Amino acid sequence: MKANKILVPMVIFLLLVILTGAGLFIFQNKYVRNKSHLGTWQRDVDMTPYVVASMNEWFADPTTASRVSFGTGKVYIKTDLTFNDDGSFTEKINPESYEAAKPVAKEIALEGLRSFLEIRLESAGTSAESVGKTVDDLIEEALEMTAAEYLDQKGPTLLPSMDELGTIYDLSGTYEVKDGVMKRTISGKPICEKYFTKDDYLMFTGIGEDIFEKPIAQPMGGDDTPLEMLYDYPALYIKK
């Protein structure tokens, strides 16, 4: 009888602790962890292929262009992806990164131009080195301007404009998350992606299954065919 007075409260206490812990665990999984995506994240988009393609088109010499080296440099722009608490999100080109990419793109283009001219000199049986000059020296002597100034004047557009990039990379819409899947709806078209966050990283790893409840009423006249994909997965974002 005395043992029951101690044991029963203990069991009830333990049960309460377990239930509380379980409840907190479930609460955290369902609500707290699902908020880890909130905030603004940044992604690097490699613009180097655009620069190379622009220069190769400008060379208009596929045989020589196939041998041109643009060096090992890369040029990136950033996009800012923001998830809001109200279930909306936006993604935009970061304008500062776009401005910073311009001189980097020009350096890569200049590398390609030097390589192109070296190949053409070689084809003509000579070289800059053999006459004690650099390719840049020869350009300056021939044009009375630097290679960079010449590219500014007569060279191709190296990067798409902000507006052109915006049509590709600027996104907005609504989202919901569940069990490691994020469903984003952009202009009425849904896409489900597997994702996870860890520390300051958010990664979309691929297309996920649509595990979300469908709305009872479908919007009239809308095209709800899912989007195929938004990235070449995996797509890595870093907390801004």
Partner 1 sequence: MKKFLSIVISITLILGSLNFFCIRSYADERDFEYLRNLDVIVDGKDPVNVKYVDLNYDNASYVSLRDLAVALKGTHAEYSVTVTDSAITMNRGGSYTEVGGENDEFTSLVRDKKSPEYTRKRNRFTLNGAASYYYTIIYKDDNETNYDCYMYLADLALILNVDMHYDNGALVIDTSSPFSFDPRRLEDEGYFLSTNSVLVGDATTGEIYYSYNPDTSVAMASTTKLMTFLLVMDEIAKGNLSLDDKVETSANVEKLSNSIDRTFRIPEGTKANIEDLIYGMLLPSSNECTLALAEAVSGSEKNFVKRMNEKAAELGLSEGTEFHTCNGLPVYTEEVMENKVQNFITANDMFKLVCHIFSVYPQITDYTSCTTKTLSSLGKSVNNTNPMLYNVPGVVGLKTGTTNKAGACLVSALQADTENGVHTVVVVELGAEDILIRNNVSQALLVYGSRVCKNGGAASIPDYNPADYYEPEVDETLAALSGRTPETADELARLVVWTARNYMPIPEPDLTEVPDADVNE
Q: Counting contacts by CB under 8 A, is residue 163 touching partner 1?
A: no
Query: Which stretch in 5-13, 87-95, 120-128, 194-202 sits in contact with partner 1 by CB under 8 A?
Result: 120-128
Judged by CB, which is closer to partner 1: 77, or 113? 113
Q: Tell me, residue by residue from 10 to 49, as one string, x for binding to partner 1 by CB under 8 A and - for no binding.
A: ----------------------------------------
Query: Which stretch in 4-12, 112-120, 201-209, 212-220 sits in contact with partner 1 by CB under 8 A?
Result: 112-120
At what angle are helices 147-154 and 95-123 packed, to 10 degrees? 110
Residue from 3, 6, 60, 220 touching partner 1 (CB under 8 A): that is: 60
Q: How far is the CB of 145 from partner 1 (least distance, A)?
A: 8
Backbone angles phi and psi of 47, in degrees to 5: -100, 0
Total of chain residues touching partner 1, rule CB under 8 A: 28
Residue 138 to residue 146: CA distance in whole angstroms: 10
CA torsion sign, 223 to 228 to 230 to 234? positive
Q: Two tokens at 160?
A: 């798409």
Contacts of 229 (CB under 8 A, 6+ apart): 191, 207
Residue from 105, 108, 128, 182 touching partner 1 (CB under 8 A): that is: 128
Name the CA radius of gyration of the chain, rounded. 28
